[in-house]
Structure 1
Amino acid sequence: MGIFSRRGGSEPPPVHGPFRFVVEEVFVVPVRGVVFTGHVLSGAICSGQRARLPLPAGVRAVTVKTIEVRRRRRGRAAEGEEAALHLAGVTAADLPRDLAAGGAVLDTRPLRGLEITEG
């Protein structure tokens, strides 16, 4: 590999334990859908893999559509990395609403700190 290789010759980080991702923020992106940002506590996840999302209304089975690490699309996120996960199987309608705003505004505060796990 040359010095200008996209891979840079580095090996993926080692994986320890099952996949656990802690949610720091949630965004609803027009056309794209719901994106969860945070960091991988343990394990690794790949695009196309199934996961479990613990929403206030109950646990939802989802599929990882795309992953971004450092603002670049990747096929995998592993332990220690900050990432954005676009999940199929959840929409903006599934997220909590702020009742003080008449239920018209998304309230992502209850989602912060949730752990997405492999499923």
Structure 2
Amino acid sequence: MSCATGACYEAIRHALASFELEIHESERLDSENHEWREGIKASKKAKNEAKKAREEEVKKKKKKKKKKKKKKKKKKKKKKKKKKKKKKKKTNVLAWRWSGSHDEQCA
């Protein structure tokens, strides 16, 4: 009987040890894979947050530019109105001619 010498026992023990090694290796690979996936998820999340922050900054800058443009447009409109008022400040010649003091001025 070969089992009496312990050869069968050694073969079973060796097979069990190799099977346990395979299980440990599989568990290690699974944990590494899980960590790797978590790392990828974290990096994607960080990229998305950075992208949103950049987009918000761009929106804020655009709003500031729009406000500046609106202020400039208002100033231009005011200047145009002032010019029109200056053109209207001509003396009314007819009213001056027919006023009673006209004869006194000419005499």
TM superposition score category, shorter chain reference: under 0.3
Structure ID, larger Rg: 2
More helix per residue: 1 or 2?
2
Greater RCO structure (CA 8 Å; 6+ sep): 1
TM-score (norm 2): 0.15
TM-score (norm 1): 0.14
More strand per residue: 1 or 2?
1
